[in-house]
Structure 1
């Protein structure tokens, strides 16, 4: 709880549910420990229901962490059924084995749902370990509760008290005590993976425009160029610059300039093809890498995009402000570094600017 509490301010979905789950599990274990010293409503009914709700909140937190908006309503209905069953087999028709069977069946079902949820819910761009750790832990506890359900449901163990000192009972008590800490280790790993993802995004994605950062763009560019040598396919680079951007900042303010940058990046990204790589090189300058594409094809692509921006209605532009951009394009020559390709494309960009702006030129 202390570790999860230290992560509360990070604003990661699900953490609040996981903290609450641990708090409720502590109350459940204390209630169980009071058997023989307090009312059976507390030590039997409330204790079992609290432990069931703790697991349910762990599942609910995982739903929120994975971005699911729906609630596991079937699990809530099951929790109500457990409450009714425990009360019935405690006061109406006392039956220890029946109580164990109904609670273990409910726990096994929740663990099964949790295992499947974490196995299938892992984002494709994230490492598997933390998601699979939680899925495996849930699957193991599911198997343990299924075994317990069978053993007690078919009367293989005769028992009258939760604290009875028999080998099977001690094993199942250990299972119950270890469950919440093991799950908590798993969710802490998930939270740290989410924090790592945020740091990676800060390093690789420009915060204002959503385009790749210069560092990430150059890194991907090197990979694409190396791949093009192996496949003997062309790679083209376009360097794009918003025309007269300083005049926009001076005449309308930097806030409007930021809006233009954000709009421009979103417009370019939405009109590129799948597989094209878009990044911000600095200021109002952006780059586009087009794998398996010649310089002539890249010129045609950027010319179409330039025409679409020119034809956009004023209501679609930030503050209704019209702006244009210039582009320099070149194609990678055999086995040359990215820096040389960028230098030639940048030269073509300067030529486009000198020729009157609002145009696409090849080196």
Structure 2
């Protein structure tokens, strides 16, 4: 049978493992990880102090140990706020630490002034139950809906289990305090709640690491799907999206159009202002386009200063009008670059899918019209005759 000390030691060892994993994540600058790391450090110190409670002075084995463990769960909650980028007002942030100070005062009072183990248990259980519920609620509310649910539900479940355990423990000590009240006395009640602790705290830490790894996976997926400089779809992701659009259009009878766009005289921008200015122009252009197209349009960067836009519409004139509006907006909107402000333009070629040709042929036709726009003097949109767009 496990003794209380052995359970505390095993829990401390699991926190050490969590620290080693969290340290490996620090270099990835994931919000929340630093607080979770320090929470585990405090948990280890707290558990060590609890394990020597019978020989340590009360201020160390009772007051300090409980306060460090309370700070552990509070740091985990604040780390979740950081992780989900929740903007907490200073007054709200200090509320938790004011409660933490109240717990410390209560423990000290019922240790030295009016010694009562049962009241201390109720105070500590109430604080931990509240923090665990806050963690579970935060994770469930802020969970990114587009991500796999398991990691987040795991954390919420572990926190909810901790809240339930502390609530039951507090209720028992209020209604009928057990005969064995001291933490390290090997009573069945103590073993049961310590065993719950050895399950909840490591599970919570494992879940936090799982959430951090999901955040890393999300970043990698974004790097694969989006162009890092402009935020537009990458070439690979754009072509995949375009293939899906054509397949759907073939089934649904929708009309699909593509516009191939090239920024005019982009090489001279790089030569005159530098590559940093060229990057700013690309970002500026992409931000204008993304802000003015529809959510179901597909916009991506296919190389250098060349972009591609896939749209669904009933009439060819709608797509031509959209690209013309974009051209006029870009022409009228200056771009701030290192060393000054510059104006730039773009040229575009538009083609309509004929429901039979492959994607490569469709883009080649649009690219040919883009070339015609360049030859005609740039800063213009070229589309075939209306009957060719039917």
Same fold per superposition (TM over 0.5) = yes
Which whole-Å CA distance do the structure 1 matches of 2:195 and 2:58 have between them? 22
* Contact 1:294/1:331 (<8 A) preserved: no
Gaps of 5+ in 1: none
Match of 2:226 in 1: 205
Match of 2:46 in 1: 28
Q: Which of the numbers 110, 115, 129 marks the counterpart of 1:108?
A: 129
Which whole-Å CA distance do the structure 2 matches of 1:232 and 1:226 have between them? 10
Q: Where do 4+ consecutive residues of structure 1 move more than 4 Å?
A: none
Instruction: After TM superposition, list the pairs within 5 Å mapping 1:45-124 onto structure 2.
Output: 45-70=63-88, 72-124=93-145
TM-score between the two structures when normalised by the length of structure 1: 0.94
Match of 1:215 in 2: 236
How far 1:293 sits from its partner (Å)?
A: 4.9
* Contact 1:97/1:155 (<8 A) preserved: no
Which whole-Å CA distance do the structure 2 matches of 1:252 and 1:25 have between them? 54
Between 334-343 and 59-68, the greater mean CA deviation after superposition: 334-343
Match of 2:210 in 1: 189
Between 92-101 and 70-79, the greater mean CA deviation after superposition: 70-79
How far 1:264 sits from its partner (Å)?
A: 1.5
Which whole-Å CA distance do the structure 2 matches of 1:335 and 1:149 have between them? 71
How far 1:227 sits from its partner (Å)?
A: 2.1
Which whole-Å CA distance do the structure 2 matches of 1:129 and 1:334 have between them? 41
Q: Which of the numbers 9, 19, 37 marks the counterpart of 2:55?
A: 37
Q: Which of the numbers 273, 277, 292 marks the counterpart of 1:252?
A: 273
Number of residues of Structure 1 aligned to a counterpart in Structure 2: 361
Match of 1:272 in 2: 293
Match of 1:17 in 2: 35
Which whole-Å CA distance do the structure 2 matches of 1:25 and 1:153 have between them? 26
Match of 2:146 in 1: 125
Match of 2:21 in 1: 3
Match of 1:237 in 2: 258
Which whole-Å CA distance do the structure 2 matches of 1:178 and 1:77 have between them? 28
How far 1:317 sits from its partner (Å)?
A: 4.9
* Contact 1:82/1:102 (<8 A) preserved: yes
Which whole-Å CA distance do the structure 2 matches of 1:291 and 1:317 have between them? 33
Root-mean-square deviation (CA, aligned residues, Å) is 1.7
* Contact 1:245/1:284 (<8 A) preserved: yes
* Contact 2:110/2:116 (<8 A) preserved: yes
Secondary structure (helix, strand or coil) at the match of 1:203 reads helix
* Contact 2:260/2:307 (<8 A) preserved: yes
Per-residue displacement from partner, 1:211-270 (whole Å, max 9, x unpaired)?
111011111112222222232221211110111222322333323222222222222222
Secondary structure (helix, strand or coil) at the match of 2:27 reads helix
Between 18-27 and 283-292, the greater mean CA deviation after superposition: 283-292
Secondary structure (helix, strand or coil) at the match of 2:184 reads coil
Secondary structure (helix, strand or coil) at the match of 1:309 reads helix
TM-score between the two structures when normalised by the length of structure 2: 0.88
Match of 1:167 in 2: 188
* Contact 1:281/1:287 (<8 A) preserved: yes
Match of 2:366 in 1: 345
Which whole-Å CA distance do the structure 2 matches of 1:249 and 1:84 have between them? 65
Which whole-Å CA distance do the structure 2 matches of 1:250 and 1:5 have between them? 44
Describe the shift of the 1:230–1:44 C-alpha distance in structure 2 as closer, same or farther (beyond 3 A): same
